Chains A and B, each alone.
Chain A
Amino acid sequence: MKRSFGKLSLFILAITLVLSGCGAKNGGSKDDTTNNKGEKLSIGYYVNGNLGDSGFFDSAKAGLDRAEAELGVTVKTVQGGTNQSDWPVGLESMVSSGKYDAIVVGTSQMKDTTIDLAKRYPKEKFIYFDETIVDIPNIYSVKYDQREGSFLAGAFAALVTTSKELTGANPEKVIGFVGGMDIPIINDFKAGYEQGAAFVDPEVKVIASFVGDFSNAPKGKELALAQYNSQNADIIFNVAGPAGIGVLEAGKSAGKYSIGVNSNQNAIQPGSVLTSMLKNVDNSIFRAVDLLSKGELKFGSNEALGFVEGGVGLATDDLYKKYVPQSIQDKIEDIRAKLISGEIKVK
């Protein structure tokens, strides 16, 4: 037993040495394959989770797909799965392969890993979304001002709950929020949402609940039903990824309203999902790849995209125009203009 353990560890050591050797070698050869040669630009996208969240990761993928079609770059997507301990290894194996001109990665959970890898592989380039990273010369980062977007969502919800035109709105001034997990980025949404609601009517109460993960749709639905039926909330803002789809369904079955998140979710339950807070990850990623191909992307810097830059916004499609009363639409337009002009400051 002991001897076999010794052998095993020797074997692992040997493999590690060989692999790390490969990494170093590939890293070295990276110098020759510059993209000035006119070769196709090669982008790697590491998803720390899975595609199919109908939000965030899918949106970044959409931007990359567009880049693939319009700019002629090649994109390789790797899905890391839900096991967090796999992510650093997965990303590093992409980075150390040296096959990519830039690696797209995002979310607050990958920040430390990426900074660490960027320092260890200074020749690799990173495009990082949804977090601020500055002063690392090979990372370009872009952040979306979800607080600003959620402010508008909060204002919208407060207008709905005080509305007399919408049949599903009750007299109680209560609005709901269902988040995925109680983590800083979700609380950022919540903070903006609360401020927006208070801006319209300080008496509006916000009930906030968290699912605990981003996949338990039945629980998302139950939480939302409890908010609608027991606490008289008439509109809920879901920030819970796939689990949030359960929230939207609860809205439909209770005859109340909800707000989608990240991408346009209005069509999931038409008439019940009145609007969605958009995070235009796709546009920003496309833009970054475009700039990269022209050699104009500023690595080492961060860009924060709010209303002005079109990084966030509310989904005002045909369904929105059909189901949302004109008076609310006008007020939202008004608040949006004030946010853009800087008259309203989101804390």
Chain B
Amino acid sequence: MLSSIWEQFINLSLIVIVLRMLPPILLGALGGLMTDRAGVINIGIEGLMLVSAFSSIAIGAWTNNWFLGVVGGTAASMLVSYAMAFFNLKMKVDIIVIGFAVNIFGAGITVLLMSILFGSHGNYIPATPVSIPAIVIPFIDQIPVIGKLLSGHNLMVWISILAVVFCYFIIYHTPYGFHLRATGEEPSAARSLGIRVERIQYSALIWSGFFSGLAGAYLSMGMTSMFVRDMTAGTGFLALAVVIFGNKNPFGILFGSLVFALAQAVTLVIETAPGNAVPSQLIKMVPYTVTIIALVVYALRKRSYKKIRTSA
């Protein structure tokens, strides 16, 4: 079994799997990050992803164009997140409650629309599959190792990694990002300095809709080309854990997402290894065990950091 993992590590297929698992977690976490930094933590990522997963493939199949699918799915997700912002900031509903509502809404509306539009309660597979294309880089894909590492990945893999850089730039190198962070730290102080707190929070929630939308589109048109009810299966919640684990920093989140994607990939490899004697329930624990270990490491690091500060 160990040799099987090692073998797949050597021939790079493990890394290919990791990169395939990465975008939904990473994009979802970036969406969570923007809201977290603005002090309106959005726990509805899961619901937003589902809304986008369904609308993107429905629109994509209807127009027979993956790009319009992605745009449509992302727009639907942003619309829902705009509604979230409206209820939170105008109607003063608690953001956690709204997040819950969106998760339930996402699970419900997708199945409802699927049964109305396609007459199915469980899954929708378009007759002609639409999918986000994979990027094959000419020449480089001929080089043995580098070719497999860089070429042939889904477009969304690259977008998700670019999104990390984009978020980093926005948060740390623009006045808008400065206002965003100030709002998250202490809204009343930010307001006293003339920052339009509510407008910032509106935008942060819509950002989360944007990133969750991309993540959802990838689920239904990148990883698979179908929609299955509740197909997010907890990815949105995993993304929220990654936000904390990544120390609310875009690059920390990239690292955290890689750790989780690796945990999932290793789970896959172990489970499909021939003569695997490990009970499947135990293997299923791996991602959660990784979460706990990660949080313990994080807490220890934080404590030793505090110690240094207080002793100094």
Interface positions of A (Cβ within 8 A of B):
50-54, 58, 82, 174, 176, 182, 205, 207, 209-210, 212-213, 215-219, 221-223, 226-227, 229-231, 242-243, 245-246, 249, 268
Contact = CB atoms under 8 A, between A and B. Distances in A.
Nearest to B24: A218
A227 B229 contact: no
B151 interface: no
Nearest first, the 9 closest Cβ-Cβ pairs linking A and B are A52-B122, A52-B121, A216-B233, A217-B228, A209-B271, A226-B272, A182-B280, A51-B121, A218-B223
A230 B123 contact: no
Q: Which of A51, A229, A230, A249 has the most CB of B within 10 A?
A: A230
B274 A52 contact: no
A219 B238 CA distance: 15
A319 B121 CA distance: 25
Interface of B: 4, 8, 13, 17, 20-21, 111, 114-115, 120-123, 125, 219, 223-226, 228-231, 233, 268-269, 271-274, 276, 279-281, 284
Contacts of B281: 182
A50 B122 contact: yes
Contacts of A212: 280, 284
A205 B4 CA distance: 16
Contacts of A53: 122
Contact of B274 (A51, A58, A205, A245): A205
A245 to B, nearest CB: 5
A246 B122 contact: no
11 contacts: A50-B229, A54-B120, A54-B122, A207-B273, A215-B231, A216-B233, A217-B123, A226-B269, A231-B274, A246-B224, A268-B125
A300 to B, nearest CB: 33
Given A52-B121, A222-B20, A243 B269 contact: no
- Of B21, B223, B272, most A-chain CB atoms within 10 Å: B272
A224 B279 CA distance: 18
Contact of B226 (A182, A209, A227, A249): A249
Which of B115, B228, B279 has the most CB atoms of chain A within a 10 A radius of its CB?
B228
Nearest to A82: B230
Contacts of B272: 176, 207, 209, 223, 226-227, 230-231
Contacts of B279: 182
B229 A215 contact: yes
Contact of A221 (B4, B223, B269, B284): B223
Given A218-B219, A230-B269, A242-B122, A207 B274 contact: yes
A123 B312 CA distance: 78
Given A217-B226, A219-B233, A229-B13, 6 more contacts: A176-B272, A213-B233, A217-B123, A219-B268, A222-B223, A226-B268
B45 to A, nearest CB: 16
- Provide the main secondary structure of the chain A interface: mixed
B226 A246 contact: yes
Contacts of A231: 272-274
B121 A245 contact: no
B120 A217 contact: no
Contacts of B115: 52
A229 B276 CA distance: 17
Nearest to A252: B129
B56 to A, nearest CB: 14
A211 to B, nearest CB: 9
Given A50-B229, A82-B230, A217-B224, A245 B111 contact: no
A337 B240 CA distance: 55
Given A222-B17, A230-B8, A174 B233 contact: no
A51 B48 CA distance: 23
Contacts of B125: 245, 249, 268
A230 B120 CA distance: 34
A215 B280 CA distance: 17
Given A230-B269, A230-B272, A231-B273, A50 B226 contact: no
Nearest to A216: B233
Contacts of A216: 231, 233
A106 to B, nearest CB: 17
B108 to A, nearest CB: 10
A261 B115 CA distance: 22
Contact of B229 (A52, A176, A221, A249): A52
A52 to B, nearest CB: 3
Contacts of A249: 125, 224-226
A43 B224 CA distance: 38
Given A50-B121, A51-B121, A215-B233, A174 B274 contact: yes
Nearest to A218: B223
A105 to B, nearest CB: 18
A22 B198 CA distance: 51
A221 B8 CA distance: 18
Nearest to A217: B228
Contact of A242 (B123, B273, B276): B123
